Chain A
Amino acid sequence: MSGEGGTTDAVPGAEELAALAARLGFTVDEETVAALRAAVVGAETAVARLRARPLPADGAADPAHGDAWVRP
């Protein structure tokens, strides 16, 4: 099933997300869980594309390169 720009099947259900949030120390109500899940679904297409995309072979695996780029 496709959501707005995302795939709902690939995203954990509301109950699972709520349990994860609670384990990590966040108190979120049902409405918030529904909203955050919708947002995750909305971003899922772009995120899934990124997961599947191979890293460049020139060392971009270390995010420190990202900080180095803005250092004079």
Chain B
Amino acid sequence: MGPPVNDLTDLLGAYAAGRTTPVEAVDEALGCLEKAHAAYNCTIRVLDERARAAAAASARRWADGTARPLEGVPFGVKDVIDVAGVPTTHGSWNHGDEPASASATVVRRLEEAGAIPVSKDATTEFAVGGPHPPRFGPVRNPWDPGRWAGGSSTGSAAAVAARAVPCALGTDVGGSVRLPSAWCGLTGLKPTAGAIPRTGVFPLSWTTETVGPIARSARDAERLFAVLRGPDGADPRSTPLPPLEVPARPDLAGLRIAVPGGAFTELCDTAVRAGVAHLVDELVAAGAEVVPGEVPSAGDALPIGYQIVFTEAATLHRVDADRWDTYDPVVVRRISQGIVTPAVDYLRALQFRVELQRELDAVFADADLLVVPTCPSTAPRLPDGTVVVDGEEFPLYAAQSRSTMLGNLTGAPGLAVPTGLAPDGCPVSAQLVAPPHREGTALWAARVFQERTAHHRQAPPSAS
């Protein structure tokens, strides 16, 4: 009997101490996934045979002293990311019942580090559809099955929150790693654009898209990111990177944080704002200093970011335009906006991206991190997906990505960190936004916050 296993770092410790083995852990993950899927509809395919074989090999490595950095850690894979020999459905009727010929770079890297893919997780259709994908249906939130787990990395977040797997791979075009992480009480990293190769990931928007880990702690996100990052020679946006530097200190002396208001907080529930304030208080108590910093054009990041996303998505999906009648109608409604975006507006939007980056440069001249809400509310209600802010209902897409699109549009990294529970019993979250390739600063601050608090260890009542 050892300490409880809350995250993958604990799991590796349990393997090292001989308290459990990858065979036992993968067995348990597969059993939990089956129960989680029955309750939340989070899984498209379980990779049981392959996972059990890998677990046996991992157990041998732990026994003979050749364990790799993530040896025997089970993980989920959003089903827009290829796993060799397994179909990638993209959550759609329209693609993907042929097995993928090769694994995505991110899957291959985790496997080479010893981790074991155990599931293909539910996604909104093509990572852009609504909460009710026609082929697989909605994913329910383990914190409240009457709510959505968020999207688009919906099944991945639900499976991690349900304690079925310790971590998963998602993709993020407007917040699709950070939003479901926020709504499920998890720690999710959208890295700097280009830091993690997208090879083998079904594309949605080349300007804004990243792959990122969904985890239960900042220290886990750091371990995963360390393995996932760096060029693969295939993704043209993925170039050589500086070393990942995450201070190991337990304090934050010298860290400067800006806490902008404006568009980030003007439509934001009281409980979410209280969570941001709590995070700031803890960071300051650990030695950080609050400095001024605003992003004047942040309010336009969402509509202009969507303009880029949907124009690129419409371009990518034109090849299937004769099959749009079989798509999720929400996919069609969303990406069809991009058909009629004039080229001069698309290019002006890309120029706006540069302007926003310069606004961030001005803030980051005096600050190391921005602290903002991850999203305005707790998880959206099913079936309609409405977001409730201080008792008032708002449409999902008008509200959800208000603070996350900034990172997609500029390329800046953002880390979603759970900051507690709202009065409705569901998690709230704050986001740490860093300059490009300074993920280490956000991971450091989040780790220190999590060493001082226990929000990241809270499990949904159904999984406790």
Q: Which residues of A contact B (CB under 8 A)?
A: 12, 17, 20-21, 24-29, 32-33, 35-36, 39-40, 42-43, 46-47, 49-51, 55-56, 60-61, 63, 65-67, 69-72
Residues of B within 8 A of A35 (CB): 333, 336
Q: Which residue of A lies closest to B412 (CB)?
A: A70
Taking CB atoms and an 8 Å cut-off, the chain B residues in 239-296 that contact chain A are: 239-242
Selected from A12, A27, A55, the residue in CB contact (under 8 A) with B351 is A55
Size of B's binding interface in residues, CB under 8 A: 45
Q: Is the CB of B358 within 8 A of A66?
A: no
Q: Is the CB of A46 within 8 A of B410?
A: no
Known: A50-B304, A55-B351, A72-B242. A26 touches B357 (CB 8 A): no
B354 within 8 A of A: yes
Known: A28-B336, A47-B307. A66 touches B318 (CB 8 A): no
B345 within 8 A of A: yes
A28 CA to B338 CA, complexed, in Å? 13
Q: Is the CB of A27 within 8 A of B321?
A: yes
Q: Is the CB of B350 within 8 A of A66?
A: yes
Residues of B within 8 A of A72 (CB): 239-242, 436-437
Residues of B within 8 A of A43 (CB): 303, 306-307, 337
Q: Encode contact with A along B379-414: 1 for CB under 8 Å, 0 otherwise.
A: 000000000000000000000000000000011100
Selected from B193, B329, B353, B410, the residue in CB contact (under 8 A) with A63 is B353
Residues of B within 8 A of A39 (CB): 333-334, 337
A55 CA to B336 CA, complexed, in Å? 28
A56 CA to B347 CA, complexed, in Å? 15
15 sample A-B contacts, Cβ–Cβ < 8 Å, listed by A number: A20-B340, A26-B324, A26-B339, A32-B336, A33-B336, A36-B336, A36-B339, A40-B337, A46-B300, A46-B303, A66-B207, A66-B350, A66-B351, A66-B357, A72-B239
Residues of A within 8 A of B300 (CB): 46, 49-50
B174 to chain A, nearest CB (A): 14
Q: Which residues of B contact A (CB under 8 A)?
A: 192-194, 207, 237, 239-242, 300, 303-304, 306-307, 314, 318, 321-322, 324-325, 329, 332-334, 336-337, 339-340, 345, 347-355, 357-358, 410-412, 436-437
Residues of A within 8 A of B324 (CB): 26-28, 32
A40 CA to B300 CA, complexed, in Å? 14
A56 CA to B352 CA, complexed, in Å? 10
A44 CA to B304 CA, complexed, in Å? 10
Selected from A12, A36, A50, A71, the residue in CB contact (under 8 A) with B239 is A71
Known: A47-B304, A72-B242. A60 touches B354 (CB 8 A): yes
Selected from A21, A50, A61, A67, the residue in CB contact (under 8 A) with B336 is A21
> Main secondary structure on chain B at its contact with chain A?
helix
A61 CA to B237 CA, complexed, in Å? 20
Q: Is the CB of A63 within 8 A of B347?
A: yes
A-B pairs with the 8 shortest C-beta distances? A63-B350, A70-B411, A46-B303, A60-B354, A36-B336, A66-B353, A35-B333, A43-B303
Q: Which residue of A lies closest to B357 (CB)?
A: A69
Q: Is the CB of B340 within 8 A of A21?
A: yes
Sample of 15 further A-B pairs with CB below 8 A, known A43-B306, A65-B354: A12-B340, A20-B340, A26-B321, A32-B324, A32-B333, A33-B336, A40-B340, A43-B337, A50-B348, A55-B351, A66-B411, A69-B354, A70-B410, A72-B239, A72-B242
A65 CA to B290 CA, complexed, in Å? 30
Q: Which residue of B lies closest to A20 (CB)?
A: B340
Residues of A within 8 A of B337 (CB): 36, 39-40, 43
Q: Is the CB of B322 within 8 A of A36?
A: no
Q: Is the CB of B351 within 8 A of A60?
A: yes
